[in-house]
Structure 1
Amino acid sequence: MELRHLRYFAAVADTCHFGQAAASLHVAQPALSYAIRQLENELDVTLFTRTTRQVALTPAGAYLKGQAERILAGVDDAVDGVRRIAAGRSGLVRVGLTGIAAFSHLPRIARVVKRELPDVDLHIQSDMLTPSQCDALRAGALDLGVLRPPAVGEDIETRVIDVEPMVLAVSIDHRLAVEPVVSVTDLRNEPFVMYDSRDSAVNDAAMRTCRAAGFVPHRAHSAPGTAVLLALVAAGLGVSVLPASVRSLPLDGLVVRDLVDADTVEVALAWRAGNDDPVTAAVADVIAAAFAVEPTQAGAHASARYGDEP
């Protein structure tokens, strides 16, 4: 059974008039009549009763009409879906995020994708460090990453969407907790809590900040992620120099203060080099555009910032 014959049959079944159906299909009436006879011969049934005054569906024709409507609607949906996917307007995109980005970056990402690409579904994997995201991107387990550059390993491309200043996290009873702004030199003799990942971009920025002030920070404790790190700081076991987006995850017993002359860290979208999936590209474009239109404000508006983590 040809799809063309099914469409011809559906047009005649809707009107029960060969002339009207031929006009709606933009075909000659004899060609339409011939196509319907071909369909009837193929099925070995009579689909229409024909008289000089009227055309009516037979019981078999009435049944086929319902099935044809369902089949043709499914075909039209499939065609529309294929075209939307090819245009990057529909599909599934798997996104990884580092640390507290689920609290800071994700709300804006989810809002802009829902608004601009309503037929795209996001599958979120959070609390993934930059090295893990890069591995997952190369393995095809992720389509996009929200991470701290530089990317770890080869075949990963990045696009910076945000730059954050570093801030100081201390326990509420720490001597510096009462200071609205802290100088990096005040941290010279402090024990530090840092990430245990050797590829941590946040650690690197903290080290650069301290070295620029003339000292190397003393690492007293290491943590596998932000939640543990902040808990150690809140417990008074050390201080930590972190991206300003840490303010998006308040914790009892923790105080965050601005740092004078602190370094900055970037937030970037990442994807596997050579990934030509149009849906992934469309999601990356709308996210980047959203951050460009609404740039984050460090310090005074730090609670609205995105990203975190090594």
Structure 2
Amino acid sequence: MPDRSSALTPDALAMMDAIARTGSFAAAARELGKVPSALTYSVRQLEEALDVLLFDRSSRQAQLTAAGTELLVEGRRLLQEMDAVANRVRRVASGWETQLSISVEDILSVPTLFELVQAFCDVRELREGSTERQAPGTRIRLRTDVLTGTWEALVTGQVDLAIGVSAGHANPGGIELRLLGEVPFVFCMAPHHPLASREGPLADAELVHHRAVAVADTAQRLAPATVNLLPGQDVLTVPNMRMKAEALLRCLGCGFIPEPLARPHLEAGTLVQKETARAPTVAQMHYAWRAERGGTAGLGRALQWWLQQLESPTTRRALLERHAGPLC
């Protein structure tokens, strides 16, 4: 009987994955560049080593048994872990992360963000032993968050960099913050909204009788923030600021939105800005990352690249202000 430790190889686990994905030994053999009889033999060797049946022989399809399903699930996990180890080793050698995850606050400029992504994808450098410039190979993973959710994504380890966090959160330690800038908010509604014709600043006693449009905080573990909502007020909650602007345009409510996002609509007359009795809302935004003992020199090179871009006042201003088109 084959030894268990020698039977459970990466090739054997990859074979199980291919058979399960393709649904047959023949299709898996084509994918792996082998003949079906070779796969059949390998599966039997694996079954003998583990002393279990991995496939139901009574089915014409490659139907996994319960034991086969368990091996497939654990095998895929082991393959992912082995790949992660290999990636970490390559990072140590090259300094570039295998993946960089970034959380971006929903109110920031999407066009500017993708210009940064494009610039990163265009990075090329000479590698040792090569005469051609090559890309770093770091995969960028973007996500958008709202309010506390952006901070939560960083402190819980879901992302490596958070762009657009406030400074009002308790720092658990080891988090560096840098100022991104300020975003003024304006109170808006459609021209045919009942409040659009009111004179003077709008008091809370009047606003409470009109539906507010709010963007939901994406925090799951930390306490979500509630901003500019009044007790007892009707609220339409949407997942992002672009949808909030659309709701305001459709006269589904009123609310505060970033002035750069509202600007083209205010100029076109499709939204109306009104003053409120409360103080003007200005959001102070930061970007944050986990610090290393050696400062930025101890960080992965992909994160260093992004932090270097964020040092530019022009880049920071564009992230806060440059929204291309009414709802982009």
Higher relative contact order (CA 8 A, sep 6+): 1
TM-score of the two chains, using structure 1 as the length reference? 0.50
Q: Which has the higher strand share?
A: 1
